[in-house]
Amino acid sequence: MMRRDEKAVFALRELFEKYGYTRYKMSRFEEYDLYVANKDFLISDEVITFTDRSGRLLAMKPDVTLSIIKNAPDVSGEVQKVYYNENVYRVSGGTHSFCEIMQTGLECIGDLNDYEISEVVLLAAQSLWKISKDFILDISHMGLISSVLENCTLSKKDKDKVVKCLQSKNAHELASLCKALELDEQKTNKLNSLVVCAGAPKKVYKALLQVLTEENEISALNELFSICELLESWGYEGKINVDLSVGNDLKYYSGVVFKGYIEGIPASILSGGQYDKLLKKMGRKSKAIGFAVYTDLLSRQDTADAFPVIDNVILRCDDTDTHALIKFIKSLPEEEKLLVTASLPEGKRWKRLYRAENGVVKLIEENS
């Protein structure tokens, strides 16, 4: 029987292929230079490195997106749609040691317009739906956040502090920060609204319209709201939240950013966004948007299937006649599960227990 994470990988692959995304299989290693130049883009900046036989410094891939961008052509009018299902190597938060994480995701790179951006966000919502009907997709817009921060004329250091408050919805520290920076009431209100306004798109849209004043802020808000409307009209009403705490990196992300959650898993299972600024930094003209699904988080929910019932357990002895045993196995119904073992297996359950002795297989225990 397939595990939950395996089922998810198959379902996502089917979904991505339906929308014309093609599989991108990449090598396990990448030149370390690629990550040094874009260290902040990585979730954890620790990378496993080694020197290959020709003396080049290589890394075990900590991320898939950078490798895909590096190889995507910059052709005007062209859009590349790829998906992947790869292992990446990162430091885990709890143990501070390296671990292998299975990641499935997609990237859409090239001369993108509104359609592609909307398609990718829609695919993110559909991916969550395929994994669990009980999902929530939080959406934010980095353009909106960076415009507000720009218009408040904050230094880079202060911007980082505001973003930190934003990420942890920390309105009390933001208030003291605004006070310390002597921001006027309008700017303080604006920043505070970014932290406290969250929830159903229509409600947030109305609330933010009251405080946003500049044209670039409002146009980013409209862009965000139009995508939310689209998702809701697709049938995901009540599952889409505008939440500006999602965005984290002003340096790489430019437009819409999002995170997906499913009930029962205490961390976000999907994360993505539009990262035109990363491409610009790499000297490219294209736009790009993508997301990753952390399917490994699903395997932790599989406790019910951890000890499946085996239909037939056969104890073999030193004098078991292999030919007779194989003949007996052939006589068992094909769909039934089987385990031939020298001793009673620990922690396993079975329906029937046999002993194979002197060329005879005898039933010695039967459980309903």
Q: Where along the sequence are the contacts to another protein (CB under 8 A)?
A: 93, 134, 136, 138, 168-173, 199, 241, 245, 261, 263, 265-268
CA distance 88 to 315: 41
How far lies 297's CA from each of 98, 102, 104, 302, 305, in Å?
A: 16, 9, 12, 10, 15
Nearer to another protein, 174 or 315 (CB): 174
Handedness of CA 297, 300, 305, 306 (dihedral sign): positive
Nearer to another protein, 266 or 347 (CB): 266
Q: CB of residue 44 vs another protein: minimum separation in angstroms?
A: 13
CA distance 49 to 59: 4
* Distance, first Cα to last Cα, the chain: 21
Q: CB of residue 170 vs another protein: minimum separation in angstroms?
A: 5
Nearer to another protein, 259 or 316 (CB): 259
Nearer to another protein, 87 or 170 (CB): 170
185 phi and psi, to 5 degrees? -65, -40
Nearer to another protein, 292 or 361 (CB): 292
Q: CB of residue 157 vs another protein: minimum separation in angstroms?
A: 11
Nearer to another protein, 205 or 328 (CB): 205
- What tokens appear for 350 in the block? 């079975």
Nearer to another protein, 110 or 201 (CB): 201
Nearer to another protein, 82 or 224 (CB): 224
Q: CB of residue 351 vs another protein: minimum separation in angstroms?
A: 36
Residues counted in the chain: 368
CA distance 144 to 150: 10
Q: CB of residue 45 vs another protein: minimum separation in angstroms?
A: 15
Q: CB of residue 331 vs another protein: minimum separation in angstroms?
A: 49
CA distance 262 to 230: 21
- Owner of token pair 């309008």: 186
Q: CB of residue 242 vs another protein: minimum separation in angstroms?
A: 12
- Owner of token pair 């620990």: 346
Q: CB of residue 167 vs another protein: minimum separation in angstroms?
A: 9
CA distance 252 to 65: 12
- What tokens appear for 141 in the block? 């817009």
Q: CB of residue 189 vs another protein: minimum separation in angstroms?
A: 18
Q: Pick from 260, 289, 299, 295: which is nearest to 129 by CA?
A: 260
CA distance 188 to 175: 7
Nearer to another protein, 137 or 154 (CB): 137
DSSP 344: P
DSSP3 helix / strand / coil % (the chain, rounded to 5): 40, 25, 35
Q: Pick from 97, 94, 71, 73: which is nearest to 84 by CA?
A: 71
111 phi and psi, to 5 degrees? -85, 70
How far lies 88's CA from each of 98, 102, 309, in Å?
A: 10, 6, 33
Nearer to another protein, 147 or 245 (CB): 245
Q: CB of residue 245 vs another protein: minimum separation in angstroms?
A: 7
